Structure 1
Amino acid sequence: MSDTPPSDLVTVGIANRVATLTLNNAAKRNALSAALLDALVAGLKSLDTQEVRVVILRAAAGLPVWSAGHDIKELPRGHEDPLGYSDPLEKALRAIRELPVPVIAMVHGTVWGGAFDLVLSCDMIVADETASFAITPVNLGLPYNTTGLMHFIGRLPMNLIKEMFFTAAPLKAADAEHWHIVNHLVPSAELEGFTRTLAEGMTAKAPLAVAVIKEQLRVLSDYQPIAAQVFERIQDMRRQVYESADFQEGIAAFLEKRKAVFRGT
């Protein structure tokens, strides 16, 4: 099956001042490739010239996987930070968090790895019973970046973060509702209608006030001062992981479709 053309990886539709951005690469289970993420950022930027007051981020209808997460084939395998500041996923997360209108993630299907960070970076999540959420860097021997960890710390209890990161086990929809990961859990047949009603209800509110409150909340939640020596120590620990044999083994095992054998080296 041929790859989806870049222009079609993320489609944009606008109606009643609500923009719907749809991840549209079923052939690769909406893996977060650089091409798809660049298309997502371009789609968000295109809204600057539109009368848009709310964005819905979704996968194409009917897909059992909302997103398979970071495209593993594109992760650097040399002595390079796999999740640096300029990584396409990091750019997309910032674009969503800094967009001056609310972004609602509408989730049908499973959400894996970096895609969980993506939906957490949205302002709200509406999901149905098919949804589940997993964060999976330990399956690859991948050191998750500090910025990404802060996204989780800002949203979830520490014991849940540790369980999800240490086990990589998916969290089912009902449990995601229990832990307030999702704002609303609705039946699959009602997902689109409920999400659109929620979005259209916000379009009547004062857009400048919404934009400023969103930015205030972002700045206040992001403000976590870290001493320079602490940050340097964290980066050095991460470097030891992404330069390890385990990281090479994790990527190789994924690509070869076998179970990884980690040796702690």
Structure 2
Amino acid sequence: MTEAPPTLSVERMSRTEWITLQRTDQMNAMSMQMLHEMTTALENAMSDDAVRAIVLTGSGRAFCAGADLKEVAGANHEPGQPDLLDLVDHTFGLMRDGPKPVIAAVNGLAMAGGLEMVMACDLVFAAESAKLGDAHSNFGVFPGAGGAAILPRRIGLNRAKYLLFSGENVSAQDMMDWGLVNKVVPDAELHDAVQAFTDKLADKSPAVLRRMKAVANRSLNVDEAAALSEEMLNLRAHMRSWDMREGLAAFNEKRKPQFRGY
């Protein structure tokens, strides 16, 4: 039996791991195979000390058009075996909760599960021509990775309901104005803009970024007093780290710090 071709590529550029979805003819729709490969790529990057940031992007005219609905419709899984939704939950969880910054470089259309993938990333850069939206209602499908649960937190309840109910896509600029996208750049400059940004991240303390990500994520689920308490606990732990001592020493000695991530 012929082995299926890979659904994504992984490339190391400086200290950034680029994961590029490559089901171009299917608009990079998520299949079981793609999710398995994404999990492997993410786990490898998260555990590699040489990698300081991870970028997800797509090939062709789409970032990701969501789940492969043909595969969903024809799914026939053995009892006890993970299905596509289980894999989505695990893969997106790695992106949200993993110790390293994950950046979406939205090169084109991001809809339904593709929009949910964007929301699982820490930061979002988008090409000017990119369109984003939740298309679940167009196909009678209910979201399962953040469309209804997380989108209102990102862009506000009324805007989220509009996208959820209508199934329409909006421009990257609109999504930046609404707070989901961090930066919009000309299409031809997307890759270089993201790489330049992650090169800056690579010079930061991995320990600081890891703790910042964890505390910031959890702050949405607790009240202000609890969030401040957790921040203080993390600061006290961080004060014993190599990276903080090295950062302060570098400041006093007027040199560039050499962080180790612990």
Task: Give structure 1 stretches of 5+ with no counterpart.
Answer: 225-265
- For 1:54 and 1:89, the matched residues in 2 are separated by 21
What amino acid is the match of 1:115? G
1:31 corresponds to: 29
How far did 1:112 drift?
A: 1.3
Q: Does 2:115 correspond to 1:95?
A: no
- For 1:171 and 1:150, the matched residues in 2 are separated by 19
What amino acid is the match of 2:66? G
Secondary structure of the structure 2 residue equivalent to 1:87: helix
Mapping 1:161-172, distance limit 5 Å? 161-172=160-171
Q: Is the 8 A contact 1:23 1:58 kept in 2?
A: yes
What amino acid is the match of 2:63? W
TM-score, normalised relative to structure 2: 0.75
1:200 corresponds to: 199
- For 2:137 and 2:148, the matched residues in 1 are separated by 13
How far did 1:155 drift?
A: 1.2
What CA RMSD, in Å, does the superposition of the two structures yield over aligned residues? 2.5
Which is greater in Rg?
2
2:69 corresponds to: 72
What amino acid is the match of 1:102? P
Q: Is the 8 A contact 1:58 1:106 kept in 2?
A: yes
Runs of 4+ residues deviating >6 angstroms? none
Q: Does 2:117 correspond to 1:118?
A: yes
| CA shift in 2, pair 1:53/1:196, >3 Å | same
| CA shift in 2, pair 1:220/1:27, >3 Å | same
Paired-residue identity, %: 25
What amino acid is the match of 1:177? M
TM-score, normalised relative to structure 1: 0.75
How far did 1:99 drift?
A: 1.4
2:181 corresponds to: 182
- For 1:146 and 1:211, the matched residues in 2 are separated by 23
Cα deviation per residue 1:33-66 (whole Å; 9 max; x = unaligned)?
Answer: 1111111111001121341111111112xx1122
What amino acid is the match of 1:107? V
| CA shift in 2, pair 1:181/1:112, >3 Å | same
- For 1:194 and 1:173, the matched residues in 2 are separated by 15
1:43 corresponds to: 41
How far did 1:150 drift?
A: 2.5
How far did 1:146 drift?
A: 7.8
- For 1:14 and 1:124, the matched residues in 2 are separated by 19
- For 1:27 and 1:40, the matched residues in 2 are separated by 18
| CA shift in 2, pair 1:86/1:168, >3 Å | closer
- For 2:3 and 2:135, the matched residues in 1 are separated by 25
Task: Give structure 2 stretches of 5+ with no counterpart.
Answer: 78-82, 224-262
- For 1:202 and 1:26, the matched residues in 2 are separated by 29
What amino acid is the match of 2:211? V
Secondary structure of the structure 1 residue equivalent to 2:110: strand
The number of residues matched between the two structures is 216
Cα deviation per residue 1:176-221 (whole Å; 9 max; x = unaligned)?
Answer: 1211221001111211111111111011111101001101122222
Q: Is the 8 A contact 2:103 2:122 kept in 1?
A: yes
| CA shift in 2, pair 1:111/1:160, >3 Å | same
Q: Is the 8 A contact 1:85 1:91 kept in 2?
A: no
